[in-house]
Amino acid sequence: MASSNFGRRDFLKAAAAMSATAAIPGLFPGVANAARTNELNILVWEGYNSDNVLDPFRREFDTKVSAENVISDPDAVNKLRAGETKVWDLINLNNPWARELLYPEGLIKPLDQERFKPYFDKMMDEFKWPYKWAMSLDGKDLLGMTQRFGPLSFVVNTDVISRPMAEDQGFNLFMDPKMKGRYGILTWANWNIYHMCITAGFSPFKKHTKEEMQKFKEVATYIFKNAKMASDDHLAMNQALITGEIDAYFTGGTYSCSVARYDGFSNVRGITPKEGPINGKGGIVWVEVTSIVNNPNLSTKAEDFLEYVQRPDVSKNVAFAEGSHNPVTQMGIPEVMNAFTKKELDAIQFDSLEWELEHCADYDVNPDYAEMLELYTAARREAKG
């Protein structure tokens, strides 16, 4: 789910670097030469590799499944660009990458629409066929299956900062002098850069002016300088919120705070701003799309696994995988929806999900990501002293 976003130039730079360092042979010995009818290699975000998701598939399909966590979307894309199309059978990334880069570059294959279209017809209304981010740019080919999704903006302790106040202020909350030393930064660079653009008053999903780049620099410097703590561990950030060390953290949402909420801390809540600069929206929603890699020796179980995770019982396991709890597009199926307890629905903030989706823009590409990352990194370094 929640990860990095590079512009096209970033990928070109990174791909050049990766081509010189690729050393994949040996990662999965025998993959290139053996007939692959009982093994499957998947590159996925945390959660899809949980035992409660994979073990039943292993048993039912008598298949060895090897899984590796995605660290960031661009990192995963670069793995395929560097030759790991010979390694992986499935790749699970956030919504823009399949249609914007992976398919145009021949790194993934289209799916059998006759086999998979019926699953979209059962999904939540927002994801029904033909769902934009699952289709090719010309709308003709199906490129992947959707599953987990969720809004991601920032998180507050509602015992200290009320939900209405946080929604009204949006990211300006972190620019309020009264918040100095009272918030943390979850250091997911891609998301922070998106959100710092919104804080600065413009959309991250466009080409930016010199004045906007300067404003971005000022916002990044201010937010890092006045933060009490910074960490890439969302569980640690939740703990700081629960103990009162901080009252909010910059970048967060259902994905980052749902486990704390499930543990009983319902005052830890992801916030979607009421309004913002992305066509009036101030929040961003991510949607995972799982695609079949253009592997020259593709496992015969790849499409079976894609279909397997669409099952109602497995969809629920994916939603409540270890480490993060999230809504899934399959909640449009009564059997899936009815499987969630009241406590589980509260953990994923289902009470406000529809409202939050209405106030979120879709995750997309930032064409100035590379330049902003340099400014972001410099601001973080300066804050450390």
How much is the pLDDT for 282?
Answer: 97
3-state secondary structure of 252: strand
Q: In 3D, which of 374, 243, 262, 305 has the Cα closest to residue 92?
A: 305
E-state strands within 124-193: 145-157, 183-186
CA distance 21 to 13: 13
Domains in the chain (CATH in brackets) are: 39-149+287-350 (3.40.190.10), 150-284+364-384 (3.40.190.10)
CA distance 47 to 313: 15
How much is the pLDDT for 180?
Answer: 98
| Cβ atoms 28, 67 nearer than 8 A | no
Take residue 57 and report the two structure tokens written for it.
């598939």
How much is the pLDDT for 319?
Answer: 96
Q: What is the pLDDT of residues 371-382, one digit of tens each?
A: 999 999 999 999
- How far does the chain reach from its first CA to its final CA, in angstroms? 32
CA distance 236 to 69: 20
How much is the pLDDT for 74?
Answer: 77
Phi, psi (deg, nearest 5) at residue 368: -110, 25
Under the banding of pLDDT at 50, 70 and 90, the label for residue 15 is very low
Please check the confidence at residue 304 and state whether its pLDDT lies above 90: yes
Please check the confidence at residue 16 and state whether its pLDDT lies above 50: no
Q: What is the pLDDT of residues 258-278, one digit of tens each?
A: 999 999 999 999 999 999 999
How much is the pLDDT for 33?
Answer: 56
Give the total residue count for the chain. 385
How much is the pLDDT for 257?
Answer: 97
